[in-house]
């Protein structure tokens, strides 16, 4: 929990979409072949595919069959910027010896790595928990499930329960004095419920996580901020040792 001089370490856990980036990298990837108008068809496709990952594999295959190459997918991912205050927070974490950071995201490993590497921030994170993704021999991106689970809170994401991930992290938490969980969506709720009273939840204003926690009676203590507000970086840095 403490270094040789007695200072306590902190672990920051970040979601990715609408948390570190102000977009959804899955839907943004549909711009690889804009002629297919896949973004306009998302709601229609959601009715056809039970699982989001199944839909995304269909999307990537459709774009591949239209002629897209791995470098086209990479180019589109490089168009995505990090939210300003969050980027400054990551840069601060990168140079802070008493702060570790990980990502827990229902996106995929290729998209996340491509975006972080483009901003020279991939080495900030100790671990990235996400759906594995790689290009097959033909050059089509294929996405796999992170894990199977039976969590009733996470029925909408059968490929990932963030609560299970946080539970495994909490079991090894003797390294850290506290955990700071930063997220936006309702699928971050289960993760937040696995934190202890000494931990912090930072939820994005107006998004599913903030709404769901606020509905708890009595609501647990947590911070709700607009991640695009410059003061977001100030708050997050105040939670560092």
The answer to whether residue 1 is domain-embedded is no
DSSP state of 187: G
Pairing of strands 178-183, 200-204: parallel
C-alpha radius of gyration, the chain, whole number: 18
Cα–Cα distance, 180 to 198 (Å, whole number): 9
Residue pointed to by tokens 């229902």: 106
Q: Is 35 exposed, middle or buried (0-12, 13-18, 19+ CB in 10 A)?
A: exposed
Predicted confidence at residue 43, as pLDDT, reads 81
Alpha carbon of residue 172 to chain centroid: 21
In this structure, the answer to whether residues 67 and 166 fall within a common structural domain is no
> Catalytic site residue 23?
no
In this structure, the answer to whether residues 101 and 55 fall within a common structural domain is no
Domain membership of residue 52 as a residue range: 28-77
- Top mean-pLDDT range of 145-149, 179-183, 186-190: 179-183
Q: How confident is the model at residue 224 (pLDDT cuts 50, 70, 90)?
A: confident
Cα–Cα distance, 210 to 205 (Å, whole number): 6
Reported pTM: 0.93
Split into its structural domains, the chain has a count of 2
In this structure, the answer to whether residues 201 and 89 fall within a common structural domain is yes
Q: Which residues are annotated as a binding site for Mg(2+)?
A: 15, 17, 184
Please identify which of the residues 3, 15, 81, 199 carries the catalytic annotation: 15
Of 37, 60, 77, at which residue does a domain stop?
77
> Catalytic site residue 17?
yes
């Amino acid at each position: 929990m403490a270094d040789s001089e007695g200072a306590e370490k902190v672990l920051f856990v970040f979601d990715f979409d609408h948390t570190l980036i102000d977009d959804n990298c899955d839907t943004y990837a549909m711009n690889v072949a804009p002629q297919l108008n896949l973004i306009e068809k998302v709601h229609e496709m959601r009715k056809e595919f039970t699982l989001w990952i199944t839909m995304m594999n269909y999307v990537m295959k459709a774009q591949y069959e239209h002629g897209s190459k791995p470098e086209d997918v990479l180019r589109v991912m490089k168009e995505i910027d990090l939210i300003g205050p969050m980027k400054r927070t990551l840069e601060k974490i990168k140079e802070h010896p008493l702060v570790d950071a990980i990502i827990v995201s229902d996106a995929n490993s290729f998209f996340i790595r491509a975006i972080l590497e483009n901003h020279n921030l991939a080495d900030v994170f100790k671990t990235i928990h996400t759906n594995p993704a790689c290009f097959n021999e033909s050059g089509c991106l294929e996405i796999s499930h992170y894990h199977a689970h039976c969590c009733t809170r996470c029925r909408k994401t059968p490929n990932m329960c963030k609560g299970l991930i946080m539970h495994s992290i909490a079991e090894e938490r003797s390294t850290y004095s506290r955990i700071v969980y930063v997220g936006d969506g309702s699928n971050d709720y289960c993760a937040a419920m696995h934190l202890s009273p000494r931990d912090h939840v930072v939820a994005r204003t107006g998004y599913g996580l903030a709404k769901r926690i606020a509905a708890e009676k009595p609501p647990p203590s947590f911070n709700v901020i607009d991640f695009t507000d410059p003061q977001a970086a100030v708050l997050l840095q105040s939670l560092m040792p």
